[in-house]
């Protein structure tokens, strides 16, 4: 059975995308720890990140870095946090989180719901920053 992330990437479940290529997708978290929280997810369903092929791992981290730079430009946070936990969904995903303090990097503080308009607004700001930096996000707006 496909994971929830595969179903989002396949369009079976709504997602708010900021990046899409042939190896991964990045979309807004519906349980954000902070405004602009993005998940970077490989197309391939690999449960544990240590089992990723090196080239795919490198690609995911490169995309996460590009998104983090865009988040920095869009939101001016103090830091951009990166978390790989893997307990919630058995499909590798990198949490890229703009933060103003360390307390925001706690799953205990994640929102239980997210406003669709807020997700769209944050995604638009991130996509605009990515495009301004010269990246092709692969996302049709």
CATH of domain 4-128: 3.30.428.10
| Contacts for 140 with CB less than 8 Å, ≥ 6 apart | none
Place of tokens 């996302």: 139
The encoded tokens of residue 103 equal 């307390």
Give me the pLDDT at residue 119, please.
96
Indicate whether 140 pLDDT > 80.
no
pTM: 0.96
Return the number of other C-beta atoms located less than 10 Å from residue 69's C-beta.
Answer: 15
How confident is residue 35, by pLDDT bands cut at 50, 70 and 90? very high
**Which phi and psi angles does 134 have, rounded to 5°?**
95, 10
Q: Which of 4-13, 98-107, 108-117 has the highest mean pLDDT?
A: 4-13
Give me the pLDDT at residue 44, please.
96
What's the whole-number mean pLDDT along residues 129-133? 95
Mean pLDDT score across all residues of the chain: 95
Sign of the alpha-carbon dihedral angle for 94, 90, 46, 116: negative
């Amino acid at each position: 059975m496909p994971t929830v992330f595969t179903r989002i990437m396949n369009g079976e479940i709504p997602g708010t995308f900021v990046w899409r290529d042939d190896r991964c997708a990045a979309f807004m978290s519906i349980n954000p720890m902070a405004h602009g929280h993005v998940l970077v997810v490989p197309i391939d369903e690999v449960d544990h990140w240590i089992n990723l092929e090196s080239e795919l791992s490198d690609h995911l981290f490169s995309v996460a870095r590009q998104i983090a730079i865009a988040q920095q430009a869009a939101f001016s946070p103090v830091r951009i946090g990166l978390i790989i936990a893997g307990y919630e969904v058995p499909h590798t995903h990198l949490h890229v989180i703009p933060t103003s303090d360390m307390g925001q990097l706690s799953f205990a503080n994640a929102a239980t719901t997210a406003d669709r308009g807020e997700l769209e607004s944050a995604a638009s700001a991130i996509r605009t920053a990515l495009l301004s930096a010269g990246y092709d996000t692969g996302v049709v707006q």
